[in-house]
Amino acid sequence: MSRVVGIDLGTTYSLVAYLDQKTGKPKCIPGPYGETLCPSVVSLDPDGSIIVGEPARRRLLTQPDRTIYSVKRLMGRGVADVQDELKVFPFRIDPASKTVIRVQLGHRVFTPPEISSFILRELRNWAEAHFKEPVSRAVITVPAYFNDSQRQATKDAGRLAGLEVLRLVNEPTAAALAYGLHEQQRGRVSVYDFGGGTFDISILKLISTAEGDIYQVLSTNGDTHLGGDDIDLMMQRVVRDEIRYAYQFDITTDPSAVQKLRKELISVKHKLSTADRVPFRFPLPSGKLYHRDFVRSEFESWIRPIIDRTMVPVKQALSDAQLQRSDIEAVVLVGGSTRIPLVRRTVEEFFGRRAHAELDPDEVVALGAAVQANILGSGVKHMLLLDVTPLSLGIETYGGAVAKIITRNSTIPASAQELYTTGVDNQTGIDIHVLQGERELAKDCRSLARFSLKIPPGPAGLARVEVKFLIDANGILQVAARDTRSGELRTIEVQPSYGIADADIERMLEESIEHAEEDFAERQVIEARTESEAILNATAKSLAHEAASGLSAEERRKIEASQTELRAAAQGTDYKLIRSRIGDLNQATMLLAEMIMNSALSTALEGKRVAEV
Amino acid sequence: MSAPSTSESSAAPCRNCNAPTNGAHFCASCGKIQPLSPGTDYFAFFGLPRKLLLDTTLLEQRFHQLSWKLHPDNFVNATESERELSLDRSSQLNDAYRTLRELLRRVEYLLGIEGMRNEGASKQQAPPELLDEVFALNESLDELREANARGGNTSAIRARLAEAHINFEKKRSEIDEQLRALCAQWDQALDGDADRAARMKLMTQMNELLNRRSYIRNLVAGVQKELVEA
Question: ipTM score of the complex?
Answer: 0.84
In a domain, B205, yes or no: yes
Taking contacts as CB-CB distances below 8 angstroms, the residues of chain A near B85 are: none
CATH classification number, A504-605, choose in 1.20.1270.10, 1.10.3470.10, 1.10.268.10, 1.20.1290.10: 1.20.1270.10
Q: In sequence order, what are the residues at sequence separation of 6 or more whose Cβ sits closer than 8 angstroms to the Cβ of residue A203?
A: A188, A189, A190, A191, A217, A218, A219, A220, A317, A318, A321, A323, A328
Domain end among B101, B119, B153: B101
In a domain, B118, yes or no: no
**Fold: same for A4-180+341-380 and A504-605:** no
Task: Place A1 in a pLDDT band, splitting at 50, 70 and 90.
Answer: low
Is residue A413 within 8 angstroms of chain B, CB to CB? yes
**Extents of the domains making up chain A:** 4-180+341-380, 393-499, 504-605
B15 Ramachandran zone, left/alpha/beta (phi>0; psi -120 to 50): alpha
Beta carbons of B95 and A381 less than 8 Å apart: no
Is residue A385 within 8 angstroms of chain B, CB to CB? yes
Predicted pLDDT at A611: 44
Greatest pairwise CA separation for chain B in angstroms? 79
Which H/E stretch holds residue A376?
A: helix A364-378
Beta carbons of B73 and A414 less than 8 Å apart: no
Q: If you ran DSSP here, which 8-state letter would residue A178 be given?
A: H
Task: Place A606 in a pLDDT band, splitting at 50, 70 and 90.
Answer: low
What is the percent of chain B where pLDDT is above 70? Answer: 93
Beta carbons of A209 and B64 less than 8 Å apart: yes
Q: Mutate which of A2, A218, A407, A415 to disrupt the B interface (most B C-beta within 10 Å)?
A: A415
B175, B209 Cβ separation under 8 angstroms = yes
A138, A6 Cβ separation under 8 angstroms = yes
Predicted pLDDT at B121: 61
Beta carbons of A384 and B68 less than 8 Å apart: yes
Looking at chain A from residue 203 to 232, which residues have their Cβ under 8 Å from any Cβ of chain B? 207, 209, 211-212, 214
Task: Place B164 in a pLDDT band, splitting at 50, 70 and 90.
Answer: confident
A381 closest CB neighbour out of B74, B87, B91:
B74
The answer on B213 and B139 residing in a single domain is yes
In a domain, B110, yes or no: no
The two beta strands, A383-386 and A414-420, are unpaired
The chain B residue lying nearest A374, using CA atoms, is B73
A419, A461 Cβ separation under 8 angstroms = no
Give the separation between CA B115 and CA B109, rounded to whole angstroms: 10
- For residue range A78-102, list pLDDT tens digits in order: 888 888 888 878 888 888 777 778 8
Fold that domain A4-180+341-380 belongs to in CATH = Nucleotidyltransferase; domain 5 (3.30.420)
Whole-Å CA distances, A374 to A5, A166, A487, B130, B196: 7, 11, 40, 61, 54
Comparing A99-108, A314-323, A470-479, the range with the smallest average pLDDT is A99-108
Structural domain boundaries enclosing B189: 128-229
The answer on B216 and B148 residing in a single domain is yes
B51, B187 Cβ separation under 8 angstroms = yes
| Nearest residue to A290 (alpha-carbon basis) of A261, A255, A269, A270 | A261
In a domain, B224, yes or no: yes
A118, A42 Cβ separation under 8 angstroms = yes
Higher pLDDT: A464 or A39? It is: A39
Beta carbons of A209 and B73 less than 8 Å apart: no
In a domain, B119, yes or no: no
Query: In b/e form, how buried is each residue of A254-283, taking b as 16+ CB within 10 angstroms?
Result: eeebbbbbbeebbebbeebbeeeebebebe
Is the pLDDT confidence value at B225 over 80? no
The two beta strands, A330-334 and A355-356, are parallel
A137 Ramachandran zone, left/alpha/beta (phi>0; psi -120 to 50): beta
Domains in chain B, number: 2
Higher pLDDT: B63 or B130? It is: B63
Predicted pLDDT at B4: 43
Burial class (CB in 10 A: 0-12, 13-18, 19+), A360: middle
The two beta strands, A4-9 and A137-142, are parallel
Average pLDDT, chain A: 88
A234, A303 Cβ separation under 8 angstroms = yes
Cis peptide before A413 (omega within 30 of 0): yes
* pLDDT, mean of residues A554-578: 90
How close B96 gets to chain A, by Cα (Å)?
A: 10
Q: In sequence order, what are the residues at sequence separation of 6 or more whose Cβ sits closer than 8 angstroms to the Cβ of residue A321?
A: A203, A218, A219, A409
The amino acid occupying position B146 is E
Task: Place B10 in a pLDDT band, splitting at 50, 70 and 90.
Answer: low
| Nearest residue to A354 (alpha-carbon basis) of A333, A376, A338, A380 | A333
The chain B residue lying nearest A378, using CA atoms, is B77
Cβ-based contacts under 8 A for chains A and B? 63
Is the pLDDT confidence value at A352 over 70? yes
Residue A72 backbone phi and psi in degrees, to 5: -60, -30
In a domain, B21, yes or no: yes
Beta carbons of A375 and B94 less than 8 Å apart: no
Is the pLDDT confidence value at B125 over 80? no
A566, A578 Cβ separation under 8 angstroms = yes
Is the pLDDT confidence value at A293 over 90? yes
In a domain, B123, yes or no: no
Is residue A164 within 8 angstroms of chain B, CB to CB? no
The amino acid occupying position A277 is R
- For residue range B184-216, list pLDDT tens digits in order: 999 998 888 778 888 999 999 999 999 888 888
- In this structure, what is the dihedral angle of CA atoms B35, B41, B47, B49, given to the nearest 10 degrees? -160
The chain B residue lying nearest A474, using CA atoms, is B72
Higher pLDDT: A183 or A246? It is: A246
A227, A306 Cβ separation under 8 angstroms = no
Beta carbons of A411 and B72 less than 8 Å apart: no
Annotated catalytic residues of A are 8, 72, 171, 193
Class of domain A393-499: mainly beta
CB atoms within 10 A of CB A531: 15
SS3 per residue for A65-104: HHEEECHHHHCCCECHHHHHHHHHCCCCECCCCCCECCEE
Task: Place B116 in a pLDDT band, splitting at 50, 70 and 90.
Answer: confident
B199, B189 Cβ separation under 8 angstroms = yes
Task: Place B21 in a pLDDT band, splitting at 50, 70 and 90.
Answer: confident
The chain A residue lying nearest B74, using CA atoms, is A379
A376 closest CB neighbour out of B76, B94, B98:
B76
Which H/E stretch holds residue B12?
A: none
Three-state DSSP class for B74?
Answer: helix
SS3 per residue for A575-604: HHHHHHHHHHHHHHCHHHHHHHHHHHHHHH
pTM of the full predicted structure? 0.82
Whole-Å CA distances, A118 to A160, A265, A353, A365, A408: 9, 27, 41, 20, 33
